[in-house]
Structure 1
Amino acid sequence: MEKIIVIGAGQAGASCVAKLRAEGYEGAITLIGDEPVPPYQRPPLSKAYLLGEMALDRLFLRPEAWYAENGIELRLGAPVDAIDAGAKTVTVGRDVLPYDALVLATGSTPRRLPAKIGGDLAGVHVVRTLADVDAMEPEVTQGRRALIVGGGYIGLEAAAVARKRGMDVTLIEAAPRILGRVAAPETADYFRALHTAHGVRILEGVGLECLNGADGRVVGAILQNGEEHPYDMVIAGIGIVVNDGPAQMAGVTLDNGIATDIHGQTSDPNIWAAGDCASLPFRGTRIRLESVQNAIDQAEAVAKNILGAGQDYVPKPWFWSDQYDVKLQIAGLNTGYDRVAVRDGGAARSHWYYADDILLAVDAMNDPRGYMIGKRLIEAGKSPAPDVVANLEADLKALLKA
């Protein structure tokens, strides 16, 4: 194999090319990204970077010089124009680049509010890229009024940062409660109380009717409950859309993302996928995992499998979120849970998800011990009884030996 092209210069793409070199691949590698900057960390963008606590150069996963030193051609600010899977070529501008293996690490794009309700007004933002946050930063200032649309983790993190910058913050969620898709009511209750204590006004079961504008800029909003308020800026956290344009060009199978097998290979044996964009088999169904951990692990598995390792990729999901002084750590996937055991240690709290008697996942708030033990139990296939984990007298660590 002489030439490998990776499309997508995010966490997955950067991890894939680094792993190819670490595994001893000596052929040509090209990493193509549509942003004009080298691969960088996304999680700190809306937190430490926006708050001014992290400098730009600390965001980059590696110094730009590292890529040249390792024989990796970086093509930045270079959207892909065409893929010819039969000829095994990628077209970028006027250049037609041949490949022996192609990796799609194209990630995702945040959903935007529709233009017909004012989503195209200046001052309406999403949180995904460095450019998004750089555009937002001058507006996140003390005394201004922010409307957050969406009560998932992105919206809640944005609300926390806006409050820390001294803004007046309202968060609306069209569904009956915040975190409705991703967490139990117990976790939603915890974070609702946390944000309310920090001065965020949370409205659940309330959608956005439209945004009001003046001179092309947002100045307020009408909510579906009839309320109308002035706002200086709006942040939308209403989900993501998979960047599957290159996959469509290549003609590979799509199924809630770019469908891959257990090795990361698509329906075309010369094309692979990893990261947010990849749909992979898991416990008899298909999932996409939108997390840094998965982007790294899956991309590294793909790199090894391109080189012939034949390694099954079995994800061990974990996630995190930082809000105010609370660090939420999540292990496992809670899909299909039917009960939650609450371990309430006051400052340290954890919610344990079960399906029948099987432990599926743990949400741990300022409880790194509970998180680590829960993660190890899940990965080992062990399921202590719910009443045991809820008992503060129980030694959780001893459960690992049971």
Structure 2
Amino acid sequence: MTGVVVIGAGQAGASLVAKLRSEGYDGPITLIGEEPVPPYQRPPLSKKYLLGDMALERLYLRPESYYAEAGIDLRLNARVTAIDRAAQEVVIGTERLGYAHLVLATGSRPRHLPAAIGGELGGVHVVRTLADVDAMAPGFVPGARVLIVGGGYIGLEAAAVAASRGMQVVLVEMAPRILQRVAAKETSDYFRALHGRHGVDIREGVGLERLLGDGQVNGARLTDGTEVAVDMVIVGVGIVPDTALAEAAGLAIDNGIAVDAQGRTSDPTIWAVGDCASFPHGEGRLRLESVPNAIDMADCVAGNILGAAVAYVPKPWFWSDQYDVKLQIAGLSTGYDRIVTRDGAASVSFWYFRGDQLLAVDAMNDPRAYMVGKRLIDAGKTADPAVVADAAADLKVLLG
């Protein structure tokens, strides 16, 4: 067998094939994607692209011509239906394609509302692919009424775009507060106030009982007994790793496709990268859903396919754009026991500590706090809470 086959033409898959070529791999490479367009950026989809501020071609990670020029066989509109591990082949329709190395970059898929509560009515959307955003774009008109289900970052970003377009926005979050799963109360409070200033009606501790309408959604009944009239619904209730192919092939699954420190699955000829993969971290396993993780892990696994034998060490960072606020997050806040707030004139940052150890930073319009916090976390160092809390102090002293 020769060649590398990559299933999944998202950020991770596209990064991996480009890295293989740039590192001198000259064997056959096949990149297989289910969508009809070349690999593209997802973050601008629901913001600049949806608002018409970014053309389709600018979404592409690389010009479509790159793949042919680099000798990469890019298969679009193609779906792998099975992996034959014994033969080291993947099945695409009636074709069987052999591999020396197979990389699963299948990403994640959004959770949908059940059909029993109206999830299949017209006008109900999720935000994941280009087709998803193209389908909802005609409804983004001033005055239209939109219900957003879910108060995580996906839901809040959708709310910001809708409110900026002049739509009437109601957002429901079943948990006691927005961002409860991923951020401290302080960050939740900040974004609740921000959206309130832009007219978004956020209802916490309230879930969706069912959607109303005959064929097309026109309303929603909430768990507190109230009903709201709607023209469209955006569902942002999380994503799940796409492990179907891996499961069917008998690979180990543990909160995603389980890989070792170098990115190998339970089959030594198969690797996994990005949203779909969980890797060893501390005493357990970790799966990260982010663009930086997709790129960094893909680069590491590409090197390991070429024999580098390097363990993947994540350096988690994330971002979210809402209105004129850029949130930048460094680190992982799991297990924090206190928050130190740094409040500037036009910026604020929340620093997560466990005991004396700095775990993470949420920085709103505060790139310096983000940069210093990220460097400290990446180096395994901590920060003096007194310096953090003093808005007049120069954070760079923490790096000394």
TM-score (normalizing by structure 1) = 0.99
After TM superposition, the structure 1 = structure 2 runs for residues 214-225 of structure 1, keeping only pairs within 5 Å, are 214=214, 216-225=215-224
Amino acid of the residue matched to residue 42 of structure 2? R
The whole-number CA distance in structure 2 between the counterparts of 1:121 and 1:107 is: 26
Cα deviation, 1:220-265, whole Å, max 9, x if unaligned, reads: 0000001011100000000011111111132110000000111011
Alignment of 1:2-401 (within 5 A): 2-214=2-214, 216-401=215-400
Partner secondary structure for residue 274 of structure 2: coil
Structure 2 counterpart of 1:362, one-letter code: V
What do residues 6-38 of structure 1 show as CA deviations (whole Å, max 9, x unaligned)? 000000000000001011111100001111111
Distance 1:33 1:262 in 2: 26
- Where in structure 1 are there 5+ consecutive unaligned residues? none
Unaligned 5+ segments in structure 2 are none
Deviation at 1:346, TM superposition (A): 2.6
Greater alpha carbon shift after TM alignment, 279-288 vs 356-365: 279-288
SS of the residue 1:276 aligns to: helix
Give, as a single letter, the amino acid of the residue that structure 1 aligns with 2:277. Answer: A
Aligned 8 A contact 1:84 1:249 in 2 = no
Contact 2:384 2:398 in 1 (8 A): no
* Distance in 2 (alpha carbons) for counterparts of 1:323 and 1:229: 24
After TM superposition, give the deviation of residue 315 of structure 1 in Å.
Answer: 0.4
Supply the distance in 2 between the matched residues of 1:6 and 1:18 (Cα, whole angstroms): 12
Q: Secondary structure at the match of 2:80?
A: coil
Please state how far the C-alpha of 1:385 moved relative to its aligned partner: 2.5
Alpha-carbon displacement from aligned partner over 1:264-318 (angstroms, at most 9, x marks no partner)? 1111000000000000111221111100000000001101101100011100000
Give aligned pairs, total.
Answer: 400
- The share of aligned pairs that are identical, in percent, is 69
Q: CA RMSD in A?
A: 0.8
SS in 2 for 1:81: strand
Aligned equivalents of 2:367 and 2:284: distance in 1? 30
C-alpha separation between the residues in 2 aligned to 1:78 and 1:244? Answer: 17
The amino acid across from 1:127 in the alignment is: V
**1:90 Cα offset (Å):** 0.1
Instruction: State whether residues 387 and 393 of structure 2, in contact with CA within 8 Å, keep that contact through their aligned partners in structure 1.
Output: yes
> Structure 2: how far apart are the matches of 1:353 and 1:229?
38
In the alignment, is the contact (CA less than 8 A) between 2:330 and 2:361 conserved in 1? yes
Find the residue that maps to 1:384 and give its secondary structure.
Answer: coil
Amino acid at match of 1:118: G
Shift of 1:393: 2.7
Q: 1:115 is matched by which residue type in structure 2?
A: A
Distance 2:318 2:107 in 1: 17
- Residue 394 of structure 1 deviates from its aligned partner by 2.2
Task: Summarize deviations over 1:31-80 as a string: whole Å, max 9, x none.
Answer: 01111111000000000000111000000001111101111001111111
Judge conservation of contact 2:88–2:99 (CA < 8 Å) in 1.
yes
Separation of aligned partners in 1, 2:248 and 2:211 = 36
Task: Decide whether the 8 Å contact of 1:41 with 1:59 is kept in 2.
Answer: yes
1:2 Cα deviation from its structure 2 partner: 2.5
Tell me, in whole angstroms, the C-alpha distance in 2 between the residues paired with 1:384 and 1:54.
39
Give the TM-score taking structure 2 as reference length: 0.99
Paired with 1:38 and 1:322, the residues of 2 have a C-alpha distance of 25
Whether contact under 8 Å (1:85, 1:251) holds in the other structure is no
- Deviation >4 Å, runs of 4+: none
Amino acid at match of 2:376: L
1:86-134 deviation per Cα after TM superposition (whole angstroms, max 9, x unaligned):
1100000111000000000000000011110000000000000000000
